[in-house]
Amino acid sequence: MLRQALLVASRSDGVRRVLETAPFSSDMVRRFIAGETIEDAARVTGELTGEGLLVTLDVLGEDTHGKGRAEENAQHYIELLERIGAAGLGTRAEVSVKLSAMGQTFDEDLALNNAYRICEAARSAGTTVTLDMEEHTTVDSTLRIVHQLRRDFPDVGVVIQSYLRRAEEHCAELAYEGSRVRLCKGAYAAPSAVAFTDKEEVDKSFVRCMKVLMAGRGYPMLATHDPRLIEIAGALAVLHDRDADSFEYQMLYGIRPQEQRRLAAQGAQVRVYVAYGREWYPYFMRRLAERPANLRFFMRSLAGRA
């Protein structure tokens, strides 16, 4: 119930206005978000890669409804990628793109064209692009765009969310040679007809999907902070004789940083999802919805500033 309430609040302009103007919010937001500018993103990327971690950068902003804004969002990514290339970070940092910020909700062809431009910039920078998965209603559209992009950019990554009932099916379809697949639990609301609503069922689905991906010939990117799932992932890597460079763990910036460094120190590839930008509110609320510990941390911050 709490998770659903927070996800509903992520779309509330009223709650958004309160949090955006409240003085206590900034410290908590900075826990999960690198800043608002490319310079902020570059600074955090340099710090993380200097510690042996990999990075994927997300420019915050979604549900774009105008062509001009969508093209502006794409141009921002292109400038970010130019910065990554100029810094020589192409082998350590990639970008994550939400297609709704590229115009997907009103023009799929526009979103494809904008994503294509970003992929070209990523290739020039010596890095890659992963397309985030968003609302359950956009899954088919996102997969269509991925398949089209992979004709020219076979290293384009895609996200599969284990809370969706078709997740295992999608993983089986995508577990082929060279296919980069990020598996996460999912942080959006969806009806029970298409999604598991019980946490245990979502976790079981995550394990089933991991088994498919780790047994396949693609490149799994396992996005979880759950110690049990990380342990299972390690066991699957041994079972399928996977080298450390044939898959990676992914975690969010600001969540379990010690675990990120512990895994990296053991030789695992660990990529940190770093979000930045002014449109932080929906992303921030989904982070609260994902883990009760995040909400408790936020409420302690609120109590301390009241």
Number of CB atoms found within 10 A of residue 291's CB: 16
Check if the beta carbon of residue 178 is closer than 8 Å to that of residue 218.
Answer: yes
Check if the beta carbon of residue 106 is closer than 8 Å to that of residue 78.
Answer: no
- Nearest CA among 271, 300, 306, 291 for reference residue 28: 300
> How far apart (Å, rounded) are the C-alpha atoms in residues 249 and 266?
12
| Token pair for 50 | 């200097």
Catalytic residue among 58, 83, 92, 132: 132
The residues facing 271 across adjacent strands are: 54, 250
- The reply to whether 17 belongs to the active site is no
Q: 3-class SS at 184?
A: strand
Strands (E), the chain: 54-59, 93-97, 129-131, 157-161, 180-184, 219-223, 248-252, 270-276
- Nearest CA among 248, 289, 292, 293 for reference residue 268: 248
Catalytic residue among 180, 182, 271, 286: 182
- Nearest CA among 13, 48, 10 for reference residue 253: 48
Check if the beta carbon of residue 229 is closer than 8 Å to that of residue 207.
Answer: yes
| Token pair for 78 | 């292109």
- The reply to whether 132 belongs to the active site is yes
> How far apart (Å, rounded) are the C-alpha atoms in residues 150 and 179?
9
Active site residues: 132, 182
